[in-house]
Amino acid sequence: MAPPRHMTSEDHFPAKTPGKLRLYSMQYCPYAMRARLMLAKKGVDHEVININLRNKPQWFIEKYPVATVPVIEHDDKLLGGSLVIAEYIDEVYSKDGERTLSVDPYEKGTTNMLISDKFGKAIISVYKRLGHKENWEEDFFKYVGELDKELSAKKYFAGGDKPTYADYMIWPWMRLIGPACAIDDVLPSGKLPNLERWIEDMKKDETVKACQTSPDVLKKFCQGYHTGKFVHDLE
């Protein structure tokens, strides 16, 4: 099933269904995918309104002046920011014992440090590679290499035998890496063996499968990112 088309400045505000959570998203945005992954993980009934980020509806800007995605709206409650939303969904919609982000203050803190420090640098290096910035290799293998080191003694970023919050928060960028993907020239180097194994394991996860976009489509979108000619509706 194709995703909803991306609304533009010409579109009127779509009527809401009372009591139903709404996600304002962009189909290929990694930050928005963080929210989509958590909603899928928790089985939250929701609707998706995709936003054309190059031609945003005025009503969206008025509703959320920061004008970025993701944003969730539930009746009169509104939240923006991928990590804010992801943690909120995990806290509100998890059953007892099913949190993906640890409730232990120290474990939660170390996970958030990993996301803000190592994940943040890795994400920047992914964008440098997508934009073919000069000397991108140095930063890419340095900072994405740090993620590889994190996985040298464990299957997933928080340990354990299944993906948790940290894995889902970095997956939207790591899904771009691999054969026939937008970044197809780094795994053959052999410098990221642990990350390569982790990527293959993540592809088997049911939550990831529920939110997947084909590598061909992502590659086309990333080519537009490189040239500055974004295409929002590729499916």
The three-class DSSP label of residue 23 is: strand
Q: How many CB atoms lie within 10 A of CB 162?
A: 11
Question: Cα 105 to chain center, whole Å?
Answer: 24
For residues 88 and 78, give the distance between their C-alpha atoms in angstroms, rounded to a whole number: 11
- 4-43 pLDDT tens trace: 999 999 999 999 999 999 999 999 999 999 999 999 999 9
Contacts of 142 (CB under 8 A, 6+ apart): 125
Decide if 181 is catalytic: no
Amino acid identity at 109 = G
- 95-126 pLDDT tens trace: 999 999 999 999 999 999 999 999 999 999 99
With a cut of 90, say whether residue 231 has pLDDT above it: no
The yes or no reply on domain 105-204 and CATH 1.20.1050.10 is: yes
Tell me which H or E stretch contains 48. Answer: strand 46-51
Residue of 29, 181, 211, 222 with catalytic role: 29
Gyration radius (Cα) of the chain, Å:
18
Structure tokens at 194: 């642990």
For residues 147 and 28, give the distance between their C-alpha atoms in angstroms, rounded to a whole number: 23
What are the strands of the beta sheet with 77-80, ordered from one edge?
Answer: 6-7, 46-51, 21-25, 71-74, 77-80
Every domain of the chain with CATH number 1.20.1050.10 lies at 105-204
Angstrom distances, CA of residue 6 to CA of 61, 109, 186: 15, 36, 32
**In DSSP terms, which residues pair with 74 in a beta bridge?**
77
The yes or no reply on domain 6-98+218-227 and CATH 3.40.30.10 is: yes
With a cut of 80, say whether residue 1 has pLDDT above it: no
For residues 181 and 214, give the distance between their C-alpha atoms in angstroms, rounded to a whole number: 9
Sort strands 71-74 and 46-51 into parallel, antiparallel or unpaired: unpaired
Q: How many CB atoms lie within 10 A of CB 78?
A: 13
CB 34 within 8 A of CB 176: no
Every domain of the chain with CATH number 3.40.30.10 lies at 6-98+218-227
pLDDT at 226: 76
- 82-99 pLDDT tens trace: 999 999 999 999 999 999
**pTM, two decimal places:** 0.96
Amino acid identity at 131 = G
- 135-182 pLDDT tens trace: 899 999 999 999 999 999 999 999 999 999 999 999 999 999 999 999
Classify residue 87 by its DSSP letter.
Answer: H
The dihedral formed by the CA atoms of 71, 75, 77 and 78, expressed in degrees to the nearest 10: 20
